[in-house]
């Protein structure tokens, strides 16, 4: 962790992960920049960025306001009731508050289920698909990376594992989650016309199922409705077979 302070604030370390900041003059406004980094390279870049924020705080606050307004503009609708708008805003705030950078075994950024409990330090498959589907409307790059993070650990047989952590030894590869990855990719495609991500996510699975190749320009909605959610799959003689829900692996298509 790095903490950049203005002259009006003193910082003392209470324990390994506990710091206390004290304002030297309670009658003056003070600014603090707190950031977390995973490497010395990130720290060097972050230090310069933090100092720039302190020196240009008004500009940075304005840019932050513009960023949030862009989120809201892309989500809020004039045909919705005000109470629904409140729910939409709360949803955006929750997703952005749970946004976490790449770290350790998490090779891409993504969204954790909750920051209210300590053990949510990873990404879960079904949560990631739902988060990405929602983020596609107002932060598509985060949506892409959340999907990429899960596909980073795709098994050779095509399965997307249940959950991944900063420590890969804690990953749960024993099972998967409901097949909603295609829905999430389709939402990104619908909002961005991004065919590159479609090709990345479906190329290996397409080969497993058909032995053929995937053209990234194919209309991805075909795959979005390709497999009923109750259908499971397994590899039989080197090829995928559709089975009833008595098998263990859930198709992530």
pLDDT in tens, 204-242: 555 555 544 444 433 333 343 344 443 444 444 544 444
Alpha-carbon gap, residue 192 to 138, rounded angstroms: 10
Lowest mean pLDDT across 102-106, 142-146, 205-209 = 205-209
Q: DSSP code of 122?
A: E
At 14-53, the pLDDT tens digits run 776 677 777 777 777 777 787 777 788 888 888 888 888 8
Does position 202 have pLDDT exceeding 80, yes or no? no
Domain boundaries, the chain: 98-253
> What phi, psi does 70 have (nearest 5°)?
-65, -40
- Distance of alpha carbon 250 from alpha carbon 245, whole angstroms: 8
Please list, in sequence order, all residues whose beta carbon lies within 8 angstroms of the beta carbon of residue 49, skipping any fewer than 6 positions away: 35
- The residues near 223 (Cβ < 8 Å, ≥ 6 apart) are 182, 186, 202, 253
Distance CA 253, CA 227 (A): 7
What integer pLDDT is reported at residue 142 of this predicted model? 98
Please tell me the predicted confidence (pLDDT) of residue 6.
Answer: 54
Residue 205: per-residue pLDDT: 57
In DSSP terms, which residues pair with 250 in a beta bridge? 232
- Start-to-end CA span in the chain (Å): 38
Per-residue confidence (pLDDT) for residue 158, from 0 to 100: 76
How many Cα atoms sit within 13 Å of 60 on the Cβ side? 12
Instruction: Say how many residues make up the chain.
Output: 253
Local structure of residue 106 (DSSP, 8 states): B
Could you give the CA distance from residue 25 to residue 46 in angstroms, rounded to a whole number? 27
Name 173's Cβ contacts closer than 8 Å, sequence gap at least 6. 153, 155, 161, 162
Supply the pLDDT for residue 7. 60
CB 103 within 8 A of CB 123: no
Examine the pLDDT at 55 and tell me if it is beyond 60: yes
pLDDT at residue 5, rounded to an integer:
52
Inter-residue contact 143 to 179 (CB < 8 Å): no
12: pLDDT strictly greater than 90: no
Beta bridge partners of 35: 2
């Amino acid at each position: 962790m790095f903490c950049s302070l203005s002259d009006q604030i003193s910082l003392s370390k209470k324990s390994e992960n506990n710091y206390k900041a004290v304002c030297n003059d309670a009658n003056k406004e003070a600014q603090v920049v707190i950031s977390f980094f995973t490497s010395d390279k990130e720290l060097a870049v972050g230090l310069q960025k933090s100092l720039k924020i302190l020196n240009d705080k008004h500009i940075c606050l304005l840019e932050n306001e513009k960023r949030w307004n862009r989120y809201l503009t892309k989500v809020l609708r004039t045909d919705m009731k005000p109470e629904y708008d409140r729910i939409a805003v709360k949803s955006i705030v929750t997703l952005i508050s749970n946004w976490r950078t790449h770290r350790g075994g998490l090779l891409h950024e993504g969204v954790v289920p909750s920051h209210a409990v300590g053990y949510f330090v990873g990404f879960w498959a079904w949560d990631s698909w739902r988060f990405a589907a929602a983020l596609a409307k107002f932060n598509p790059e985060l949506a892409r990376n959340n999907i990429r993070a899960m596909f980073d650990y795709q098994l050779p047989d095509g399965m997307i594992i249940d959950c991944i952590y900063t420590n890969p030894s804690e990953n749960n590869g024993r099972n998967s989650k409901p097949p909603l990855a295609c829905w999430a990719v389709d939402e990104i495609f619908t909002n961005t016309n991004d065919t590159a991500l479609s090709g990345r996510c479906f190329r290996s699975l397409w080969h497993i199922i058909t032995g053929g190749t995937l053209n990234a320009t194919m209309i991805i909605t075909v795959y979005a409705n390709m497999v009923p959610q109750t259908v499971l799959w397994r590899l039989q003689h080197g090829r995928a077979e559709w089975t009833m829900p008595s098998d263990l692996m859930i198709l992530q298509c």
